[in-house]
Copies of this chain bind each other. A is one copy, B any other.
């Protein structure tokens, strides 16, 4: 039993990773896994800086800088220097970028809905509570993942 716990988490993680990998074609563009995470994070945070998003996703800042450049080139993301500290660049989604974020979000929600359709309502609530609990516990953990939240 104890032995299976890691296996269960490994499989679950891999499945969600896979889902991401298949993601995403949106608005006629092929979005990579990393790009979809970046778009998601910019959408979620309120005017994040480059550094903040890189930290949140644990991506090396130099790699991230270039990822942002390519998203800017695709006209999905905008960089705006912060007036009160011009070292800092604020990231935001363009209209096109918001559209892509919405499409990806719908795809993910459809998938989650489909997965939940194989459960009873009781089970569905249990799973949601469990994931919430897991996130809270991981946030408390000293081992990993402090930047996330």
How many chain A residues sit at the interface, stated as a range, is 35 or more
Q: Among B40, B109, B135, point to the contact of A12 (Cβ < 8 A).
A: B135
Note all chain B residues with C-beta closer than 8 A to A109.
5-6
A140 within 8 Å of B by Cβ?
yes
Chain A at the B interface: SS class:
helix
CA distance A131 to B9 in the complex (A): 7
A136 within 8 Å of B by Cβ?
yes
Q: Do residues A144 and B5 form an inter-chain contact, with CB atoms below 8 A?
A: no
Known: A10-B40, A18-B58. A134 touches B127 (CB 8 A): yes
Among the 9-residue stretches A46-54, A61-69, A86-94, A112-120, the one with 4 or more Cβ atoms under 8 Å from chain B is A112-120
